[in-house]
Amino acid sequence: MSGKRRTQNELAEGVDRRVRVDVQRNLDALLQAAKTMFATSGVDAPVREIAEKAGVGVGTVYRHFPRRSDLVAAVFRREIDACAAAAPLLAASYEPGEALLKWIERYVAFIATKRGLAEALHSGDPVFEPLPLYFQQNLEPALGQLLHAAATAGEIRGDVDAGDLLNAIARLSGADQAQRMVALLVDGLRYGKKASSGVR
């Protein structure tokens, strides 16, 4: 016992203790429970209930997610990723205009299942700060591609900002008439398009 092993409090930097198994287990259970809870009761589901459903104490929740919103963010990150990933797939399978429409449809469906998310997303509440950022960084490029392609193809006008559109749709979704309102917005996209090839 003389080599370069680390006794208890020997050093402090560059450790590599592997993550404890219970941590991973609890984190998974938590994320799973939260996902279910958010889908059924909305993003305002009480932390206590989520913790209980996951079989852990609230302390555990808050150690992993300092703020309630961090949990929300974590749960949605996955689905956001999935939604973003759908863009290139659609772009490869359909013509520009069609791909754009289909992706928006997908996006609307995603937002719709998250009762209260759209509201929380952009409502001054500082607690939900991380979410919009992640949304933007991931969904904006995805939509941007589709938008650009469609504009190049002359299907829509070219001066629409992906971020704006993302926000607008998110805000519109959740309403009873969301479908119609989004359709109206999409028509707005076509309003000043340069060519008028594919519109009937």
Partner DNA sequence: TTGAAAAACGGAACAATGTTCCGTATTTGT
Partner DNA sequence: ACAAATACGGAACATTGTTCCGTTTTTCAA
Q: How far apart are CA 138 and CA 18, in angstroms?
A: 30
Interaction of residue 124 with its own copies, rule CB under 8 A: yes
Interaction of residue 32 with DNA, rule CB under 7 A: no
18-77 residues near its own copies, rule: CB under 8 A: 42
* Helix, strand or coil, per DSSP, at residue 12: coil
CB of 136 to its own copies, least distance (A): 12
Q: Which is nearer to DNA, 7 or 196 (CB)?
A: 7
Residue 56's binding partner out of its own copies, DNA, none, with CB under 5 to 8 Å set by partner kind = DNA
Interaction of residue 144 with its own copies, rule CB under 8 A: no
Of these, 23, 192, 194, 197, which contacts its own copies (CB under 8 A)?
Answer: 192
Contact criterion met (CB below 8 Å) for 178 and 108 = yes
Of these, 38, 60, 75, 155, which contacts DNA (CB under 7 A)?
Answer: 60
* Helix, strand or coil, per DSSP, at residue 140: helix
- Cα→Cα distances 163→113, 114, 116, 147, Å: 21, 19, 20, 11
Torsion of CA 37, 41, 46, 52, to 10 degrees: -40
Residue 161's binding partner out of its own copies, DNA, none, with CB under 5 to 8 Å set by partner kind = its own copies
Residue 132's binding partner out of its own copies, DNA, none, with CB under 5 to 8 Å set by partner kind = none
Contact criterion met (CB below 8 Å) for 171 and 113 = no
Q: How far apart are CA 83 and CA 119, in angstroms?
A: 19
Q: Which residue has the tokens 């808050």?
A: 62
Residues that bind its own copies (CB under 8 A): 42, 115-116, 119, 122-124, 160-161, 163-164, 167-168, 171-172, 174-175, 177, 180-181, 184-192
Residues that bind DNA (CB under 7 A): 1, 5-9, 15, 17-23, 26, 44-48, 55-60, 62-64, 66-68, 127
